[in-house]
Structures are given as structure tokens and as C-alpha cells.
Structure 1
Amino acid sequence: MKEGASSSLDEIQVAVTRVEGAEDIPLPKYMTHQAAGMDLAANIFEEVYIEPGEYKIIPCGIKIELPPGYEAQVRPRSGLAAKYGVTLLNSPGTIDSDYRGEIKVILINLGKQRFSLKRGDRIAQLVISGVVRAHLYEKDKLDETQRGDGGFGHTGV
């Protein structure tokens, strides 16, 4: 084992329940031992087509109960983006710890061909992450930095 490496990753308990009619949809799971995201599957009852430039809300068939201090982020699957130009319109989508509704994703087809989606297809990733809340306060002047207000490519291409 490399210096500084851990033999296991931290885990938290997250309760999950299926919506009615989603009993056959696979629960999210990590596809490799050190994967950060779990795959979400489409809870649709007939084939869905997404035309180029079109977006659709796709249900995933599950609800989760996150512990306070955590969020779930819904992120695109790189394979769908690379092969078909399909990604998420709201990315990352945030699921707060007090949300108890069905997880749904907004898929958009940025590709050139119609995209076909079938029941149980893996459509997005779910990443569980800790949350830090900030207390904002007003200040007359912010501290100076070397960067200052430079942004949007100020260091070159």
C-alpha cells in the first residue's frame, strides 16, 4: 500500500426506498471498488426517445434519506456524453438531506442523432458528499490578492 493510502473509504448509511412499480429497477451501486458515484437507472415503462436538442425528465424509481450534513449530487455518465452527446441539463443536480421525493434526472441530447432510452438503462451517477454551510457577512472591502478580480481566462488559453 502506498504511503498515505487508506485501506477503506469512509461510509455512511443512506436509507433507500423504491417507488411503486420500480421493484425491478436496480438500486444504485458502485461499479468499482473506489468509484465515487453510483449509477442511477431509468424507471420508465416504455422506450423514450430524446431528439437532438431536446430534454426530458426521467424518473429513477427511488427515494433516499440522507443524514443531516450530507447531500447527493446527480452527475452525468461520461460514457453517454462521449458516445451519444447525452448529458444532464442541471449538472450537478443537488438533492438536499430533507428531500424525500423520487430522484429524477433531466437528460438532454446534445448529440446529432436521436437517443433511445429503455427501462433500467443507467443514465446518471449519484455522488454522496458532505456539506459545509457558510455564514455570510458584509464587509466594506475584501482583502487584496495577487489574482484580484481576474476571471474567465485571465491567465491565457
Structure 2
Amino acid sequence: METLKIRYLSDKIEKLRFIDGKSDWIDLRSAEEVNMKAGEARLISLGIAVQLPKGYEAHVVPRSSTFKNFGLIQTNHMGVIDESYCGDHDEWKVPVMAVRDTCIHVNDRICQFRIMAHQPALQFEEVEHLEGCDRGGFGTTGKQ
């Protein structure tokens, strides 16, 4: 079992928790009150700094309800936080854009994360042909 060292930068948000057997993702909450107008973009504080285990990175993505509930899209679509971003003031934030006027309250669940092992070392081999079956190119799946 790996250990995440968490420094809470807000005493207003619920503590992180892993819901064993229910999800591989851990919810992150807004640490601030945010009012946004349609078209506005900003970083929302998540109220934590984290020291990840050696050899891991965190992937931060919206929750499935983030767009429906708040009209927010994550502007980088998936944030990657590497293990070197681990100081006392390396606060996690999420970059978002509002597609409608919205209000986010402290402790609202607005995104989620999981940790993943770093990609292994790779080598590249140039070839004339690939061995796989040709499926017809990008966007052709499901067309008759």
C-alpha cells in the first residue's frame, strides 16, 4: 500500500478519503467560494498540497457531474501533477471555464484524481509496416 502525505491548506474542506471497492478515483473539493460568468476562466483552489509516493504522478479530471451541476469544463482536460510538485505551498488547483453563470461553494466536489505509476522507459523502433490489422483510419469505427 502506498502513502500520500497531505497538507491541508484549508480547514473548511472535508478530508480526502479512498472509498475502497467503490471507485479508483478520489474526489477533490473547492476550497473557496467562486462565482463565474459564462466564458470566464480561472484556477479554483483545492485546498491541499500533496507529496506523492516516489515513482507516481496524479491525474486530475472533472467528475462526471461537474459539467451538469456547475457548467464547468476543465481547460486542460486532464491535469498531470508529478511527484516533484510536493512542497508546502504547492497547492493543487483546477483550471476551469464556465459555459454558463455558476456558483461553486466551499466543499463542492468539482474534480477527482488517481495516482498512476510513471511510464516505463521506452525505446522507439522505426518500421516500414505495422503487424496489426488495418481498421481504416481515424473515425472509421462503426461506419458501414
TM over 0.5: yes
The aligned amino acid for 2:6 is V
Q: Name the counterpart of 2:93.
A: 104
Report the CA distance between 1:148 and its aligned residue: 6.9
Distance 1:16 1:84, change over 3 A: closer
Secondary structure of the corresponding residue to residue 78 of structure 1: coil
Q: CA RMSD in A?
A: 2.2
**TM-score of the two chains, using structure 2 as the length reference:** 0.82
Partner of 1:8: none
Which residue in 2 is equivalent to 1:4? none
Shift in alpha-carbon separation, 1:145–1:94, aligned structure 2, 3 A: same
The answer to whether 1:42 aligns with 2:30 is yes
Tell me, what secondary structure is at the counterpart of 1:27? coil
Q: Distance in 1 between matches of 2:25 and 2:69?
A: 19
Q: How many residues align?
A: 140
Alignment deviations for residues 21-64 of structure 1 (CA, whole Å, 9 cap, x no partner): x12322222356421111111122xx321222222101111111
Q: Which has the higher strand share?
A: 2
Which one-letter code corresponds to 2:8 in the other structure? Answer: R
TM-score, structure 1 normalization: 0.76
Cα pair distance change 1:104/1:142, threshold 3 Å: farther
2:40 counterpart of 1:54: yes
Residue 85 of structure 1: how far off its partner (Å)? 2.9
* Correspondence 1:117 to 2:107: no
Q: Which has the higher contact order (CA 8 A, sep 6+)?
A: 2
In structure 2, the residue matched to 1:135 is: 122
Contact map agreement 2:135 2:141 (CA 8 A) in 1: no
Runs of 4+, deviation exceeding 3 Å: 30-33
2:62–2:112 Cα contact (<8 Å) kept: yes
* TM-fit CA distance, 1:138: 4.9
Q: Which 5+ residue runs of structure 2 have no aligned equivalent?
A: none
> C-alpha separation between the residues in 2 aligned to 1:137 and 1:149?
24
Aligned to 2:66: 80
- Kindly provide the amino acid, as one letter, of the partner of residue 109 in structure 1: A
